[in-house]
Structure 1
């Protein structure tokens, strides 16, 4: 049995702690915040409950597998499959209620957008399924390794299916002749914090997975996943310590041998697993001599986009029209130019962004009937006072929030008469809460054909130190983070 210290109690840290404890290791889980969950955040005020991170779960079997592997299902964690995955409003005013089941999608597309649109999307998803079949086992479910990538590269048919030299936007243009379908596809690049014009065609698997496995909501909010995993961890003997910020990962003879806390306390360990952002680990928690090549790769990668969110406490709105709504921008390319910047202009808040609205019809998240706890999110440039946007600039957040409320109304969702109060969550707030540089939601983006190879591996160059979570392999989002935990626990168990 090894002594394991896990740094960070986001979903990745919680999941890997649970798996390692079930393997028989002695695990201490450290979290700098007062609550566990990381980016799976929850805000409670006046009886309103907001998920401030993910608002839906896909591939729920991965969560079921984690619980089954470590003691059995949690009867208090109740999942609900959404009949309508999302309601979309396109720039021309067209509406689309996207069904939550794959078999129902073609007919819905034909009815909303015109005959033949369902077949276009189906043809695209057939290609996406090919990519999924090729990449799932050797890449998403396995530790990343040079040997594995070489083996994959030798299968010419598989390489042709994945088309690593083609962008997601370009792949979509081959199948989707309706510009609204191409806009719909572009949205899925943002699931990895990326620009569809630069993200690889492999991200076609994102809409395939969402529609093949369904969109799921956790009754009471997705924050209950973190609560459930904490309870499971503690039942297995994990010592969970919130309010403990790690200052450094200590080493001896080139091997990780523990951590030092901000108060100077040192905790010895045989293994350290970091669920912190990979950039923070390599740049701040390790000495300069450790992980130099990994730091260099991170410097070549494009940070993922961030987000600006409104938490809206509403009265008198009644049941929401759909759990998830997306109100598309008139010019999606201008949005991505604003978020990532161009040669002519640096990153800047987008004047007319796409609006993502999550509003659960769940009495557990509101204080009374007719009230609404709405989470409104827009893509935003990361917090970068030196070379981009300073989200702490006085007045900026309030002015931008007012602009977004006006834009909601302009696109047919005027909640201003029902507004009880509004809170904002900026990229700077996200950086402070999660210690993620710039508030980049997914660490590095998938921009560029080589982006997947720049994402840090779970096994670091420092013996005894491992990474887990959205900024490491295989990537961000709840399903991939759960896979990351499974991969990392396997690596630790085999070490």
Structure 2
């Protein structure tokens, strides 16, 4: 075993450090900011506590698998609370709907569209089957030979897999359901994939299995509690974590990694380097041109996914109109997706937004008699939209205008006419903050979109082709975006190092 350097102390970096330490490596994690967690951040002000990144706890099996490898469990590490309803849906111009998980969702579907209950049952059965296939064959793997996944025998065993990757999620859902609310419930998960429903393969209808079947949970303490558990486990495995330590170059000799160069000019020697930083930054800023597996021209052909304007709002008084997770959908949301994915130069924002009220579940996230809100407004992945106010005191005019519009929309659609008058905290983040703080490619907040050409083995690989001993982890590489995928990416680094060419999760 040897020294390993992990670049970045976000979810993927901490998870990778823990697993490398378990393998016997001497691990140093270097993080350019002054806190761990990366995009899974936390902000505390005036008695309020806000998550500033991930907020949906989905794919519990991925968490359980990761913790199991380290001799523990989700139950030991986290205090998880089931959410019922899973979320509240606010369709434009219509009464809100509480969307449950489990059997109750079929009755909801039937109430919206005759015959939809049974169709939804079949849809979710297909989603569950596809989820199992994906976990078994497409997530826990380094794709050592992608051709194996295209052989007729593999496709036959996967049933209708071919059809699912050649039609869009929106098209697949729209053929089966007519009610616009059902359609939106079953296609909105594309946003969790940083993608457009019309360009997301129908394979990803599996996402509905995660919220409507597996159910939605919340870790008390928010995702800061998840990050704290990862940091704790990494340190228990012997990892050293150095904050305020920026990497400026990945060093190599003769095509083999030798360590990383830091901003102060010093060098950390290590024959094993794992970058959990943004892949675009890793390749185009930390490596010389001749050693780039993914040069700038590669990214010119890729879709960066969505950007976001985030609003952190502390509100005086209770807000019974909202539950923990709330989705606000425009009746015609085509312009919303166009603004984000097709006309970024417009500077417009989506009117289909997400609002979290964690004070619905946890008592110490806001002062007594107050609520905390987190608004996520999809926008184009474009740093030119500007910064928010959180780190600079004053946000750009466009970011603040988008935040004002979102708060006004929330007040109107949820029938809280005095919402803006009750604000005691209002802070924002914009695409330029993601670009500056996390070196996020194009200011994207989640990671590259899960289109057909950016899924599975077409998303890339987790090892450099030019530098031996250089590996990648995190949302910008395989298997994809989201906290569960980051945990899986850490495990896939171990599979690569072991020479494990199998698909499926590690046994030990």
With normalisation by structure 1, the TM-score equals: 0.92
Q: 1:260 is paired with a residue of what secondary structure?
A: strand
The aligned residue for residue 403 of structure 2 is 401
How far apart are 1:299 and its partner, in Å?
A: 2.8
The aligned residue for residue 443 of structure 2 is 439
- Residues 315 and 76 of structure 1: is their aligned pair in 2 closer, same or farther, counting only changes over 3 Å? farther
Question: Does 1:483 pair with 2:488?
Answer: yes
How far apart are 1:240 and its partner, in Å?
A: 0.4
How far apart are 1:339 and its partner, in Å?
A: 0.6
Question: Does 1:422 pair with 2:426?
Answer: yes
Q: 2:19 is paired with a residue of what secondary structure?
A: helix
Alignment of 1:101-140 (within 5 A): 102-111=102-111, 113-140=112-139
Query: Are the equivalent residues in 1 in contact too, given 2:109–2:182 (CA < 8 A)?
Result: no
**1:198-250 CA distances to partner (integer Å, 9 max, x unpaired)?**
11111111111222322110112111111111122112211001111110111
Query: Are the equivalent residues in 1 in contact too, given 2:47–2:366 (CA < 8 A)?
Result: yes
Query: Are the equivalent residues in 2 in contact too, given 1:338–1:348 (CA < 8 A)?
Result: yes
The aligned residue for residue 353 of structure 1 is 351
Alignment of 1:366-381 (within 5 A): 366-381=365-380
How far apart are 1:298 and its partner, in Å?
A: 3.2
How far apart are 1:318 and its partner, in Å?
A: 5.1
The aligned residue for residue 471 of structure 1 is 476
The count of aligned residue pairs is: 487
How far apart are 1:325 and its partner, in Å?
A: 0.5
How far apart are 1:466 and its partner, in Å?
A: 0.6
The aligned residue for residue 72 of structure 2 is 72
Query: Are the equivalent residues in 2 in contact too, given 1:297–1:454 (CA < 8 A)?
Result: no
**1:303-325 CA distances to partner (integer Å, 9 max, x unpaired)?**
11011111001111155631101
Query: Are the equivalent residues in 2 in contact too, given 1:318–1:370 (CA < 8 A)?
Result: no
Alignment of 1:97-246 (within 5 A): 97-100=98-101, 102-111=102-111, 113-147=112-146, 149-151=148-150, 154-157=153-156, 158=158, 160-163=160-163, 164-246=165-247
- Residues 149 and 293 of structure 1: is their aligned pair in 2 closer, same or farther, counting only changes over 3 Å? farther
The aligned residue for residue 383 of structure 1 is 382
Runs of 4+ aligned residues of structure 1 deviating over 6 Å after TM superposition are: none
How far apart are 1:36 and its partner, in Å?
A: 0.5
Measure, in 1, the Cα distance between the counterparts of 2:319 and 2:90. 20
Q: 1:400 is paired with a residue of what secondary structure?
A: helix
The aligned residue for residue 497 of structure 2 is 492
Q: Give ranges in structure 1 of 5+ residues lacking alignment.
A: none
- Farther off after superposition, 38-47 or 448-457: 448-457
Measure, in 2, the Cα distance between the counterparts of 1:192 and 1:51. 19
Query: Are the equivalent residues in 2 in contact too, given 1:340–1:347 (CA < 8 A)?
Result: no
Q: Give ranges in structure 2 of 5+ residues lacking alignment.
A: 389-394, 501-508
Query: Are the equivalent residues in 2 in contact too, given 1:40–1:223 (CA < 8 A)?
Result: yes
Measure, in 2, the Cα distance between the counterparts of 1:127 and 1:39. 32
The aligned residue for residue 29 of structure 2 is 29
Question: Does 1:276 pair with 2:280?
Answer: no
**1:153-191 CA distances to partner (integer Å, 9 max, x unpaired)?**
653433733422111111112212222222222211111
Measure, in 2, the Cα distance between the counterparts of 1:453 and 1:68. 26
RMSD after superposition: 2.2
Alignment of 1:251-270 (within 5 A): 251-270=252-271
How far apart are 1:123 and its partner, in Å?
A: 2.4
- Farther off after superposition, 418-427 or 447-456: 447-456
Q: 2:188 is paired with a residue of what secondary structure?
A: helix
The aligned residue for residue 88 of structure 2 is 87
Measure, in 2, the Cα distance between the counterparts of 1:210 and 1:66. 20
Query: Are the equivalent residues in 2 in contact too, given 1:279–1:443 (CA < 8 A)?
Result: no
Measure, in 1, the Cα distance between the counterparts of 2:453 and 2:365. 44
- Residues 173 and 76 of structure 1: is their aligned pair in 2 closer, same or farther, counting only changes over 3 Å? closer
Measure, in 2, the Cα distance between the counterparts of 1:4 and 1:94. 55
- Residues 121 and 394 of structure 1: is their aligned pair in 2 closer, same or farther, counting only changes over 3 Å? same
Measure, in 2, the Cα distance between the counterparts of 1:348 and 1:399. 11
**1:332-388 CA distances to partner (integer Å, 9 max, x unpaired)?**
11011111124xx735222x6112110112445434322111101111111243xxx
- Residues 152 and 262 of structure 1: is their aligned pair in 2 closer, same or farther, counting only changes over 3 Å? farther
The aligned residue for residue 392 of structure 2 is none
With normalisation by structure 2, the TM-score equals: 0.90
- Farther off after superposition, 45-54 or 395-404: 395-404
Query: Are the equivalent residues in 2 in contact too, given 1:341–1:347 (CA < 8 A)?
Result: no
- Residues 179 and 367 of structure 1: is their aligned pair in 2 closer, same or farther, counting only changes over 3 Å? closer
